[in-house]
């Protein structure tokens, strides 16, 4: 079966759709519901159940992938980004499986987006090490080597100049400090130069909403690897979660 259900849980919205994983195209409508303000486990699970109901339920034997804004280790959420702290140390995969009545593939949201870009987007056909970063409230990341995901890289938490990179280089930091594009690009230069020293990537992708304005800051960066905008935008998590569910 090449069709799978992908669910993308974010700090502000929960999205889902059925995906043709052979082509990366959505099958039918994409649905979205606001993430509960509390960010609590039971409330988010209820929204996911509601969302799947709006999609017509889970067809028999269809794989299901769910991506989530946390480090995911063996189905347990080890962190919590823009959601309740109750997720930390929670066996979240089992929680969703019980509510949905089926097995799922459960993965970090940036990892899902990275897999989607490699399979269907800006990095399709690229060999070697692809490094995806998402610039938003923080900095998410994904490392994919020859199509194989190295999970939970969390490179936004690297210490650069004594503080976490995302504290100074995320898009939220740009907005908070009212930085010009050129001033922000200098911070991004330090971040991406550090990543190059550590990983020597063959391609760097930049996602997040600000990637729509890539022409205002990417040309200001001087790196060895090509650095280009991601392509899949709001569908990346859905596509990646679904693709990983079929592979699993």
Amino acid 248: pLDDT? 53
Would you say residue 240 lies in a domain? yes
Residues 36 and 77 in one domain: yes
Amino acid 169: pLDDT? 96
pLDDT over threshold 70, residue 1:
no
| Domain count across the chain | 2
Would you say residue 95 lies in a domain? yes
Would you say residue 119 lies in a domain? no
Amino acid 12: pLDDT? 86
Would you say residue 117 lies in a domain? no
Residue 56 burial (CB count, 10 A): 11
Residues 3-28 pLDDT 10s: 999 999 988 899 999 999 999 999 98
Would you say residue 118 lies in a domain? no
Residues 8 and 102 in one domain: yes
Residues 148 and 104 in one domain: no
Would you say residue 29 lies in a domain? yes
Instruction: Please state, in angstroms and rounded to a whole number, the distance separating the CA atoms of residues 132 and 174.
Output: 19
Give me the domain span that covers residue 95: 3-111+235-247
| CATH code of the domain in which 220 resides | 3.30.420.40
Residues 148 and 79 in one domain: no
**Cβ(151)–Cβ(107) under 8 Å?**
yes
Residues 149 and 70 in one domain: no
Residues 67 and 26 in one domain: yes
Instruction: Please state, in angstroms and rounded to a whole number, the distance separating the CA atoms of residues 17 and 5.
Output: 6
Residues 166-223 pLDDT 10s: 999 999 999 999 999 999 999 999 999 999 999 999 999 999 889 999 999 999 999 9
Amino acid 187: pLDDT? 97
Residues 46 and 101 in one domain: yes
The pair of structure tokens assigned to 33 is: 């519901």
Residues 150 and 190 in one domain: yes
Would you say residue 120 lies in a domain? no
Would you say residue 116 lies in a domain? no
Residues 81 and 20 in one domain: yes
Residues 91 and 159 in one domain: no
Q: How would you label 126-157 residue by residue, b for 16+ Cβ within 10 Å and e otherwise?
A: beebbbbbbbbbbbbbbbbbeeebebbbbbbe
Amino acid 32: pLDDT? 96
The pair of structure tokens assigned to 115 is: 């897999």
């Amino acid at each position: 079966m090449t069709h799978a259900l992908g669910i993308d849980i974010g700090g502000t919205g929960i999205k889902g759709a059925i995906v043709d994983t052979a082509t990366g195209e959505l099958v039918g409508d994409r649905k979205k519901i606001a993430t509960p303000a509390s960010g609590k486990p039971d409330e988010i699970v209820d929204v996911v159940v509601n969302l799947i109901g709006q999609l017509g339920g889970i067809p028999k034997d269809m794989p299901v992938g769910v991506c989530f804004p946390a480090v995911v280790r063996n189905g347990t959420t080890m962190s919590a980004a823009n959601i309740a702290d109750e997720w930390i140390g929670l066996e979240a995969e089992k929680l969703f499986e019980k509510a949905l009545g089926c097995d799922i593939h459960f993965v970090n949201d940036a990892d899902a987006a990275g897999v989607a870009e490699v399979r269907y987007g800006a990095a399709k056909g690229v060999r070697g090490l692809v490094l995806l970063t998402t610039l938003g409230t923080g900095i998410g990341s994904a490392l994919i080597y020859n199509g194989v995901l190295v999970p939970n890289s969390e490179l936004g938490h690297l210490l650069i100049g004594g503080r976490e990179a995302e504290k100074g280089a995320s898009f939220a930091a740009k907005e908070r400090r009212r930085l010009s594009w050129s001033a922000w690009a200098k911070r991004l230069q330090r971040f991406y130069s550090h990543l190059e020293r550590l990983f020597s990537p063959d391609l760097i992708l930049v996602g997040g909403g600000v990637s729509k304005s890539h022409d205002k800051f990417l040309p200001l960066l001087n790196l060895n690897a090509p650095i280009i905008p991601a392509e899949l935008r709001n569908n990346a998590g859905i596509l990646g979660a679904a693709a990983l569910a079929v592979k699993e």
